[in-house]
Amino acid sequence: MQAFDARFGLGWWTDPAVLVFQATVEQATAENAELVQSWIDLALRHRKEEIAEAGGLFIFHDWRSVRAYDTEARKAYLARMRARPRDYLRHSVTVISAASPLLRMAVETGNLVASMVAGRKVEIAHDPVAVMREHEIRPPAIGTRFPGTGRPSSRPPVAR
């Protein structure tokens, strides 16, 4: 495990320029959104060359545990996406429960923002294993650290 925060869940970095997030919360809040976005900012800042070489960051969200979200969570998440350079994202997949129509609507809103900001589409899926196979997402090598942290299991600071 590279990153864990009880306010959200897990995060890890792997090659080539892939961030994986797994939510463990049922209610997404602005605090959750800011935490995930701070982890993305750490990667963008500390792995800039690798991300550029890969053609942008691949972000894989496993949000199957999330059942609902606050309006402020959606606003915070989208605001941080809009603040980034156009070329930061190469692809994004969000896995949600098929029984979460409100969350699907939020992800689709994020899809519009991703299309406008990064020129990319956010893919919605229901099976994380299938997504990992399709996109060849592998666990990080032993000893790989989350970008911007000193130890593999340390909790990344909240970047602003």
In this prediction, residue 145 carries a pLDDT of 87
In a domain, 147, yes or no: no
> Tell me, what CATH number does 37's domain have?
3.30.750
DSSP state at residue 154: S
In a domain, 62, yes or no: yes
What is the mean pLDDT, run by run of 10 residues, along the chain of 160 residues?
Answer: 90 95 93 94 95 95 89 87 86 82 68 64 87 94 85 45
In a domain, 87, yes or no: yes
pTM here is 0.83
In this prediction, residue 38 carries a pLDDT of 94
Distance CA(102)–CA(93), nearest Å, equals 17
In this prediction, residue 122 carries a pLDDT of 77
In this prediction, residue 152 carries a pLDDT of 45
In this prediction, residue 54 carries a pLDDT of 96
In a domain, 155, yes or no: no
Contact by Cβ (8 Å): 95, 120: no
In a domain, 150, yes or no: no
In this prediction, residue 154 carries a pLDDT of 41
Domain total for the chain? Answer: 1
AA identity, residue 104: R
In a domain, 32, yes or no: yes
In a domain, 88, yes or no: yes
In a domain, 139, yes or no: no
Residue with tokens 């970008």: 147
What is the residue range of 31's domain? 3-134
